[in-house]
Amino acid sequence: MAVPEVGTPAPAFALPGPDGGTIRLGDFEGKSHVVLAFYPFDFSPVCAQELPGLQEQMQRFRDLETMVLGISTDSTHAHRAFAAELGLEFPLLSDFYGKHATAAYGVLRPQGFSERATFVIDKHGIIRYAQVHDISQVPDVEEIIGVLETLRKGHD
């Protein structure tokens, strides 16, 4: 599948979260913007830099009425351990079974794991930013914050 285009509705998903409950994209509609951070693997070197980089900006994300969700094809068990090791406050969602969300966002590699990709979805469920990153590079958090600041100015 292709990466959904900016300006189109974000594909819906329902994925297991760290506490065993299900988190749905629709849970945030009308309430907050959402940053989806797809990443390849828990405990990999670049992911172990990327996710703490998002965590460092959590207050800014809160101020911009934004929920951050990490998504990979690893299990919820691996996510819990990885999040605890990194001190993450945002949920890591598991697309282990079926890999439906990863496929719907066009970031499922043929080998069965996710590309490194970031999506910003506004409060109305519309994609406002979609970027597949070099898998060996940490994405620029400031670029994501910039998109959210634009949304705050009323362009959503």
Q: Domains along the chain?
A: 14-155 (3.40.30.10)
Q: Which residues contact 29 (CB under 8 A, 6 or more apart)?
A: 123, 124, 125
DSSP category for residue 26: G
Q: Which residues contact 107 (CB under 8 A, 6 or more apart)?
A: 3, 38, 114, 115, 117, 132
DSSP category for residue 150: H
* Residue 154 Ramachandran class (φ > 0 left, ψ -120 to 50 alpha, else beta): left
Q: For residue 156, what pLDDT is reported?
A: 47
List residues with catalytic annotation. 47
The CA-based angle 71-72-76, given to 5 degrees, is 90
pLDDT in tens, the chain (156 residues): 799 999 999 999 999 998 889 999 999 999 999 999 999 999 999 999 999 999 999 999 999 999 999 999 999 999 999 999 999 999 999 999 999 999 999 999 999 999 999 999 999 999 999 999 999 999 999 999 999 999 988 754
Please write the tens of the pLDDT for every residue from 68-108: 999 999 999 999 999 999 999 999 999 999 999 999 999 99
Strand-by-strand arrangement of the 33-38 sheet: 92-94, 66-72, 33-38, 116-121, 127-133
How many Cα atoms are found within 13 Å in the side-chain-facing hemisphere of 125? 12
Distance, in Å, from the CA atom of 107 to the CA atom of 117, rounded to the nearest integer, reads 7
Residue 72 main-chain phi, psi, to 5 deg: -145, 175
